[in-house]
Amino acid sequence: MVLVDGSGLPLAVDVDSASPAEVNLIEPLIDEAVTPHVPPRLIYDRAGDSDPLRERLASRGIELICPHRHGRVKPPTQDGRPLRRYRRRWIIERTIAWLQQFRRLVTRYEFYSFLFHSFAKLACMMIVLRRF
């Protein structure tokens, strides 16, 4: 998982197994950010549609912007105005494409997760240095 700012610069990267739900991985990713600045809004895909997550992020002062999942039983918690910002999701997709330029991240050759995590952080540092 990658946390980026509004211009696409990586702020945090986290590696975990595929078994936990993505909803449970968002808050540790925010805690791992390299800057103390907390973003006011977090744009995420449908996997982050969780009312308890929205409440926990709201207590931190973060607004979660993600479309509701299909088949949602509870009434919607946001109208269309915040979802207009969802159109800027291409920024994170572009950052992921930048990370895909590093062959070692596309195919995971490392057995140990801490090595893969270190290479992902190194790739993020190289992306930040290229932008400045």
Q: For residues 89-102, give the mean pLDDT.
A: 89
Measured distance CA(115)–CA(39) in Å, rounded: 28
Q: Residue 21 belongs to a domain with what CATH number?
A: 3.30.420
Higher-scoring residue by pLDDT: 10, 39: 10
Query: How many domains are contained in the chain?
Result: 1
Question: Could you tell me the sign of the dihedral formed by the alpha carbons of 33, 40, 81, 22, in that order?
Answer: positive
Q: For residues 90-98, give the mean pLDDT.
A: 89
Q: For residues 31-53, give the mean pLDDT.
A: 84
Q: For residues 19-37, give the mean pLDDT.
A: 85
In 26-76 the beta strands, taken as DSSP E runs, fall at 41-43, 63-65
Please give the model's pTM, rounded to 2 decimal places. Answer: 0.80
- Domain containing 116: what range? 2-131
Question: pLDDT tens, 65-90?
Answer: 888 778 777 776 776 666 777 778 88
